[in-house]
Structure 1
Amino acid sequence: MRFIWLTACFLLFLNCEDKQSQQNKTTTEIDSSTVKVDDQLDTKSEEMDNKDQPFLLTKDNAMEFFLQYDKKHKENKVRIVTDFGNIDILLFNETKFHRSNFIYLTKKGYFDNTQFYRVIDNYIVQGGSTDDREVMRRRRFIGKYLLPTDTKRGFRHDRGVISMPSSNIDNPYKLASPYEFFITLRDVYELDGDYTIFGKVIRGIEVADKIAQVDTDDADWPLQNVYIRRVEILD
């Protein structure tokens, strides 16, 4: 009888162990599944965060971006609106990176309320910059990049062309500052080969002449701000 009682106790013990093992196994599977779901949620969250990041132009991606942008955005006529009148510009298709850059910035509204900040009578008016914090903020949201010169297209710095100045940073190759431009008021062929001509004035050169006659300080900055109210795409 004692043997039978011991055998029954032993079988009961084994049954309890098996149930405990099954419970542990089930708990482990739930924990593992929870970890996998958490990992998936974290991954999706990271992907959403990346999608929310704004696109910024950089020295590494700008050329490829404008190469592709040029294929889809063929506009080449713009109007610079100022308090002195309007200046209509034809942008050259031959200088596609610079044309695309100007169209892109125009569509972004970058030029709105920038200024002609350097004016020299019978020489040039230079615009596209300002010390306004809002314009500086726009630049940060568009990106920090430069454009290479493109001076082998046969264009010369005749009166009334629009050209791109070099960046004022350490710049031995005269890489162009993409946010700024200048309009020539006479033939200035000494600039040929150094700066990229990417368009010409087709109407309103007399407006640029008037702007160049305003009073300036010793750095050629107008004493009264000369605003570019906006740039519009005509065609």
Structure 2
Amino acid sequence: MKRISILACALGLAWSQLCAQTSTTEVLFETTKGNIRIALYDETPQHRDNFLKLTKMGTYDSLLFHRVIKDFMIQTGDIFSKHAKPGQLLGTGDYDYTQEAEFRLPKIFHRRGVVAAAREGDAKNPERRSGASQIYIVWGKTYDDRRLDYTQHKLDSITGGQVKLTPEMREVYKTIGGSPHLDGQYTVFGEIVEGLDVVEAIQKEATDKNDRPLEDIRILKATVTKDLPAPPTAKPAASRKASVRSKASRRR
């Protein structure tokens, strides 16, 4: 996979926007910088289920945050990073499948603290399908109206006018921050519910010319701490027949 080219709110509008998502599942990253807890959105079930599957497989255990850009994001999930040598170029390690995009604008967008899936660029990936394992956590920056207007102009050009920053989204970007230029192009599928201070610390780390931290920052262990409920177990055929016969006997 190619590298992506890419708190609490006191205001009523921003608060309603932030609380719009629903989550029944959570994953905990225990990292060398502290714990990060991620709630996964039920509105993006394909990405949610894939992330849970990979976590249970142990995919993220011992992986590095291999790409860190101050005031933008931190990225992990390169499966080649587990045993990477110092200074090794990373960013291409992933499984050999992709996921259909699950854009949920204007409800879910690139505000500070969300988790999204990395992917190959539009030239090779016009459907903007997500990669399998590489993810990034948004830090971003706050925007004023002038910069948001400019971002909207760029989004109109890139997406053919299909992505619009609503007044509620603009308010969040002005007060909380994020990366609005990624909206409608990368799938956001979760958010940080614990450890945003850890994300802030990581995005400030010194990096080399390829945006890899000079000091390795590693996910020691990734654990599903809140899972989907198991599907109900069907009754054995014999039990169902016995139940039918019992009801029939009562009717007679």
Length-normalised TM-score, structure 2: 0.58
Find the partner of 1:121 among 51, 70, 74: 70
Once the 2 structures are TM-superposed, how far is the Cα of residue 105 of structure 1 from its aligned partner? 0.2
Structure 2 match to 1:112: 61
Supply the distance in 2 between the matched residues of 1:234 and 1:90 (Cα, whole angstroms). 10
Matched, 1:172 2:126: yes
Indicate which of 225, 229, 232 corresponds to 1:234. Answer: 225
- How far the C-alpha of 1:209 sits from its partner, in A, is 0.9
Q: Does 1:103 align with 2:52?
A: yes
CA apart distance, 1:167:
2.9
Structure 2: tracts of 5 or more residues without a match: 1-22, 85-92, 141-177, 227-252
Indicate the residue corresponding to 1:5 in structure 2.
none
Equivalent-residue separation in structure 2 for 1:133 and 1:76 (angstroms): 25
Conserved? CA contact 1:75–1:103, under 8 Å = no
Correspondence for 1:220 among 198, 211, 226: 211
Offset of 1:156 from its aligned partner?
1.1
Q: Give the deviation of 1:134 after TM superposition.
A: 6.7
Identity across matched positions, percent:
31
Q: How does 1:43-62 map to 2 (within 5 A)?
A: none
CA distance in 2, matches of 1:223, 1:131: 17
Q: Structure 1 134/84 Cα, relative in aligned 2: closer, same or farther at 3 Å?
A: closer
**Any stretches of 5+ residues in structure 1 without a counterpart?**
1-73
What's 2:43 paired with? 94
How large is the RMSD of aligned CA atoms in angstroms? 2.4
Amino acid across the alignment from 2:42? N
Asked if the contact 2:75–2:135 (Cα under 8 Å) also holds between the matched residues in 1, the reply is yes
Rounded Cα–Cα distance in structure 1 between residues aligned with 2:66 and 2:102 = 24
Give, in angstroms, the shift of residue 131 of structure 1: 3.2
Partner Cα separation in structure 1 for residue 54 and residue 219 of structure 2: 14
Partner deviation per Cα, 1:165-204 (whole Å, 9 max, x = no partner): 1136932222111111100113111110001010000110
Q: Is 2:101 aligned against 1:149?
A: yes
Does the Cα contact within 8 Å between 2:66 and 2:81 map onto a contact in 1?
Answer: no
Higher relative contact order (CA 8 A, sep 6+): 2
Contact persistence 1:89–1:200 (CA under 8 A): yes
Structure 2 vs 1, CA of residues 227 and 205 (structure 1 numbering), >3 Å: closer, same or farther? Answer: same
TM-score, length of structure 1 as denominator length: 0.62
Match of 1:161 in 2: 114
**Counterpart in 1 of 2:158?**
none
Shift in Å, 1:75: 5.9
Contact 1:146–1:167 (CA<8 Å) still a contact in 2? Answer: no
Shift of 1:229: 1.1
**Matches of 2:69 and 2:195, distance apart in 1:** 17
Extract structure 1 runs of 4+ deviating beyond 3 A: 130-135
Corresponding residue SS for 1:97: helix
SS at match of 1:220: coil
Does structure 1 conserve the Cα–Cα contact (< 8 Å) formed by 2:63 and 2:82?
Answer: no
Structure 2 counterpart of 1:60: none
Q: Give 2:187's aligned residue.
A: 196
